[in-house]
């Protein structure tokens, strides 16, 4: 998702540069400079490029964008009337004239609105794909919880396998906590700030502060992570029943909080 958004934002940035050129040419045109056919050519390049980008991503603002290019008003009787000037009509003008000043102002308003819609495209796409990020992370965690169960079922009293099962489940749970923070676009509160990287406790406290989980859920998840920590340290006693609780309850938590 990150790579896709970076590519989209780069394309939007290039279209914005082209839009700046179009605006400059349009302003010169209303002051009497002969800038055709460059104005029409670059204007169409910008519009077609921006519209195709919106179409590819099924953008909710496409209809509004088109109405900036071909502007219509709806009368109470249902009749649609074309505006005196919009982006398309201004780009089609052939003779530069200072009398086009009013038309330029109308063009500039429509162009500004259209550019704002294009700039909002990446935000919509990011918001749309955030649930997908959570779902993919949950699917990965679910697979790891299943592997943890298999290890536990095959352990037959082998402490090494029991511990390995708990470690796998703990890693899956902590990674899912990271996904929750990322998908909700929450800044992790690191305590103390001098720590090199946030730990599980920082993640839990951040999620509580952001009202993504409550204090009861925080306490419960912390107890599950503690079981996983014990599994990673041979000096700590580990019971298969605790590891089983870790796997089952962590799986339930990940499925319910997305």
Rounded distance between C-alpha atoms, residue 82 and residue 91, angstroms: 15
**Same domain? 12 vs 110:** yes
Closest alpha carbon to 95 in 32, 158, 51: 32
Domain final position from 98, 119, 140: 119
Predicted confidence pLDDT, tens digits, the chain (258 residues): 444 667 788 899 999 999 999 999 999 999 999 999 999 999 999 999 999 999 998 889 999 999 999 988 877 877 888 888 899 999 999 988 777 788 999 999 999 999 999 999 887 776 666 555 555 444 556 678 888 888 888 888 888 888 888 888 888 888 888 888 877 778 888 888 888 888 889 889 999 998 988 999 999 999 999 998 888 887 778 899 999 999 999 988 888 887
Q: Which domain holds residue 184?
A: 130-256
**Same domain? 136 vs 221:** yes
CA distances from 45 to 41, 48, 95 (A): 6, 5, 21
Does some domain include residue 141?
Answer: yes
Residues 82, 86, 87: CA angle, nearest 5 degrees = 140
Domain final position from 90, 119, 148: 119
Q: Which two tokens stand for residue 127?
A: 């918001």
**Same domain? 218 vs 110:** no
**Same domain? 142 vs 83:** no
Does some domain include residue 89?
Answer: yes
């Amino acid at each position: 998702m990150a790579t896709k958004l970076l590519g989209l934002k780069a394309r939007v940035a290039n279209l914005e540069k082209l839009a700046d050129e179009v605006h400059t040419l349009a302003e010169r045109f209303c002051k009497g400079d002969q800038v055709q056919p460059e104005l029409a050519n670059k204007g169409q390049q910008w519009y077609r490029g921006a519209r195709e980008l919106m179409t590819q991503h099924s953008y909710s603002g496409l209809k509004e964008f088109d109405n900036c290019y071909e502007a219509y008003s709806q009368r109470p009787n249902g009749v649609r009337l074309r505006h005196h000037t919009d982006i398309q009509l201004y780009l089609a003008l052939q003779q530069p004239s200072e009398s086009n000043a009013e038309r330029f102002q109308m063009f500039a308003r429509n162009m500004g609105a259209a550019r704002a819609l294009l700039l909002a495209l990446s935000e919509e796409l990011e918001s749309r794909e955030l649930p997908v990020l959570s779902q993919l992370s949950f699917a990965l965690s679910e697979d790891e919880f299943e592997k943890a169960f298999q290890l536990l079922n095959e352990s037959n009293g082998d402490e090494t396998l029991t511990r390995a099962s708990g470690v796998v489940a703990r890693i899956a749970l902590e990674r899912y906590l990271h996904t929750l923070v990322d998908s909700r676009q929450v800044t992790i509160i690191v305590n103390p700030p001098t720590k090199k990287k946030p730990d599980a406790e920082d993640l839990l406290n951040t999620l509580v502060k952001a009202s993504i989980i409550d204090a009861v859920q925080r306490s419960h998840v912390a107890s599950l992570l503690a079981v996983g920590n014990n599994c990673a340290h041979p000096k700590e006693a580990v019971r298969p029943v605790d590891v089983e609780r870790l796997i089952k309850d962590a799986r339930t938590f990940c499925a319910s909080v997305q």
